[in-house]
Structure 1
Amino acid sequence: MASLAKAPKNRAVRDAVHRHEHLSKQGLLERAFSFAFRGLVYAQIWEDPEVDLEALAITPDCHVVTIASGGCNVLSYLTANPAAITAVDLNTAHIALGKLKLAAARHLPDHAAFHRFFGEANRPDNIDAYRNYVAPHLDETSRRYWEGRGLIGKRRISGFSKGFYKRGLLGGFIGAAHLVAKLYGIDPRIILQAKTIEEQRQIFETKLAPVFDKKFVRWLTDQPASLFGLGIPPAQYVALAGDDPEGISAVLKQRLEKLACDFALADNYFAWQAFGRGYGEGPAASLPPYLKPANYQAVVDRVDRVEVRHANMCDYLESMPDASLDRYILLDAQDWMTDEVLTRLWTGITRTARPGARVLFRTAAAPTLLPGRVPDAILDRWEYRAEESLDYTRRDRSAIYGGVHLYVFKG
């Protein structure tokens, strides 16, 4: 999921999200959304890195540029051995999280400590590890963020001792969803007891699916502000609701069904995050690529190839030379953009793209949103891989997007 900004760059948030007069209903929603994005949004990114790695086909000479978000995928891309990764973001909390992960990869003593910090993220000894190994190597801005206090008065770094994946706007949304389900006598964790995909589907259909038919739940999901925690701004909410004639509740039910039923739990850490609020423990744990023991040394050896920048993607592209970049990951940020901003973005992408460059992005609704909005003179230089995109959409384990889209530069 893409992210926005916190002061002093909150003007970039307004530019990205605000499309209506501030006293209109839509304008008020847009301003409430940008206010909600002033802190940590995603403790974990919700784009499937295994689908990304297949679609991107990264080679050792590739310079990858991506929106940072929670930083998980940035480190996971290192497993493909790119020459360089530049991660940009406007959200200062996400920048601080990305830099924390880089410092931890460089300076924690071993995989056990690294896994304990980010795989479990709920152990008091993580705070000692931060003080002894990580904090001395953080830049001042990131260290000030982690050692500063959040809204409840506790230091932000303390989240890694008590369940970091319950933090952030998305963590709060998942917690609220669990609470609503429990009001109807359903604990979402029940699905984690399933041993087969067939059992997963049975539990979903008998326990979880009926919750979406409750009058209160249907009313709640009809309120655009209720989905801010999923990172869905008002404009994206409209696109998402249009994916099913029965409205947003039906769309959310379909997406949760895919998350719950289409992939074995052992292979889907997104399901563990949604239903169990973590990655699980011991042999049953399901992990993103950067946390798997087999990938640890590669991540550590290549971590210096990553640069994290507090910057706007368009501004970054405009600072780069012609034909200098190879892979672009835009998450779902384009769903929020006006035609003018989309054209600026794709002008920068096209100018900086080397032959064979690839662009990967996601959309809340199913179709690609570029035709008719970006000039043909630009899009004609790109090949849309329609069949591959449908396949990637089907196999994206995070399950929350309507479409995963791949474009390849023709030159």
Structure 2
Amino acid sequence: MFTRAFSGLVYPQIWEDPVVDMAALALKADDHVVAIASGSCNVLSYLTAAPIRVSAVDLNGAHIALGRLKLAALGRMTDYSTFRRFFGAADRRENVAFYDGEIAPHLDAVSRGYWEGRGLGGRRRINLFANGFYRYGLLGRFIGTGHLLARLLGGNPRAMLAARDLAEQRQLYDRHLAPMFERRLVRWLVRQPASLYGLGIPPAQYKALAADGEDGILGALRLRLERLACGFDLKDNYFAQQAFGRRYGEGADAALPPYLQPQNFETVKARAGAVGYRQSAITAFLEDQPAKSCDAYVLLDAQDWMNDADLTALWSQITRTAKPGARVIFRTAADERLLPGRVPAAILDQWRYDEARSRDLCRQDRSAIYGGFHLYTLPGQAA
């Protein structure tokens, strides 16, 4: 069921904070970054840090098509307002017309086939950008279902957006969201692993979350939602705005991912040619790379899904391809180290784990949904 659920578009927006990523990676000119693509918000946001080269890989063909759509759009768009309308608002008919007239002729055949193919409703997938793109995909629909369930049970997630400060955020959370966890239906639902597939939680992650705290999976989800709702100013947190409003904010001061911020448009556009996409597992991609050719690795939470043999194969290739001073970042659903005892010490001991820095960065992550953020560095100085 999980594999089937993940066969189409999953993440219209990636749920890892790129500001935290860039603080950990300390990117510099000419770095080669290998990153799991997902929704590509982070891949493009990294371009704001330095003129780097990014290899974006993903097993999911829909995510690759989304990334290539963004690159093709950047190549054809000459003004920020068009870019913001397409990938920020993502709910205007003009977006489809712009795709047909300007983007489609310059898009690769596979990606064009995806966007011009028909979805479950019988319409071309590119029409999602005329109807609120971020409400779709597995995650978008999951959030929409959560809103519906909350309203049926007397809550209103959208009410969170009326908060003027952190104190009001706490009051609205206590009124509209916290009581949901006491409802018998909600408690039953979160005990069903399949009900959380829309959050991108596979069975292995579900088990880790269930063991991460005294109140099991219910307690873990309650703490993550409370942190999202109360831990950061909602006006500055586009993750919370997507969770509670199902869209990005409007206006010149709206919170947006770095790649969508107006001051970064020209930089992202100029550097987008240094991003390449490949549909592949990250280990297989690294097997094709020369030794000591990569400076940074962004693994998202993919290792939560791997067994010991998969982890060992991945870290063998990371270690082979890493330059001295290379950085690896990833997240875990639970507050756990994950790798010790599962990856052979002969490999892992070559890397330095910065526990204090990792915990500090985890606290700064505005997406608020992970239990751990992890930073590993290969000692030495790059040539």
Q: Bin the TM-score by the shorter chain.
A: over 0.9
Partner letter of residue 191 of structure 1?
A: M
Unaligned runs of 5+ in 2: none
Find 2:25's aligned residue among 52, 56, 61.
56
Q: Does 1:120 align with 2:89?
A: yes
Task: Give the C-alpha shift of residue 284 in structure 1.
Answer: 5.2
TM-score computed with the length of structure 1 as normaliser: 0.91
The Cα RMSD (Å) is 0.8
Partner amino acid for 1:75?
L
Q: Which residue of 2 aligns with 1:23?
A: none
1:382 corresponds to: 351
- 2:306 and 2:11 map into 1 onto residues whose CA distance is 20
> Alignment partner for residue 271 of structure 2, among 279, 302, 310?
302
Output the amino acid matched with 1:301: A
Alpha-carbon distance in structure 2 between the residues aligned to 1:247 and 1:283: 41
Tell me the alpha carbon deviations over residues 104-129 of structure 1, each in whole angstroms, 9 at most, x when there is no partner. Answer: 11112211000000000011111111
Q: Residue 285 of structure 1: CA displacement? A: 2.3
Give the secondary-structure state (helix, strand or coil) at the position aligned to 2:226: helix
Cα deviations across residues 80-139 of structure 1 (Å, max 9, x unaligned)?
Answer: 124310000010100000000011111122110000000000111111111122111100
1:146 equivalenced with 2:115 (yes/no): yes
Q: Which residue of 2 aligns with 1:393?
A: 362
Contact 1:64 1:82 in 2 (8 A): no
Question: What corresponds to 1:201 in structure 2?
Answer: 170
Instruction: State the TM-score, normalized to the length of structure 2.
Output: 0.98
Distance 1:368 1:353 in 2: 21
Q: Contact (CA 8 Å) 2:154, 2:176: kept in 1 or not?
A: no
Which residues of 2 match residues 236-385 of structure 1 at below 5 A?
236-283=205-252, 285-385=254-354
Query: Matched residues in 2 for 1:408 and 1:124: separation?
Result: 46
Which residue pairs with 1:87 in the alignment? 56
Determine if contact 2:35/2:54 at 8 Å carries over to the other structure: yes
Q: Which residue of 2 aligns with 1:230?
A: 199
Amino acid at match of 1:178: H
Q: Return the match for 2:9 from 22, 33, 40.
A: 40
- CA distance in structure 1 between the partners assigned to 2:101 and 2:77 by the alignment: 9
Moved more, 73-82 or 93-102: 73-82
Does the aligned pair in 2 maintain the 1:62–1:325 contact within 8 Å?
yes
Instruction: Report the 3-state secondary structure (helix = DSSP H, G, I; strand = E; otherwise coil) of the residue aligned with 2:195.
Output: helix
Contact residue 63 and residue 82 of structure 1 kept, 8 A: no
Distance in 2 between residues matched to 1:105 and 1:50, nearest whole Å = 21
In 2, are the aligned partners of 1:328 and 1:360 still within 8 Å (CA)?
yes
Structure 2 equivalent of residue 20 of structure 1: none
**Any idea what SS the aligned residue of 1:182 has?**
helix
Kept in 2, the 8 Å contact 1:325–1:354? The answer is yes
Which amino acid is the alignment partner of residue 141 of structure 2?
Answer: G
Q: How many residues are paired up?
A: 380
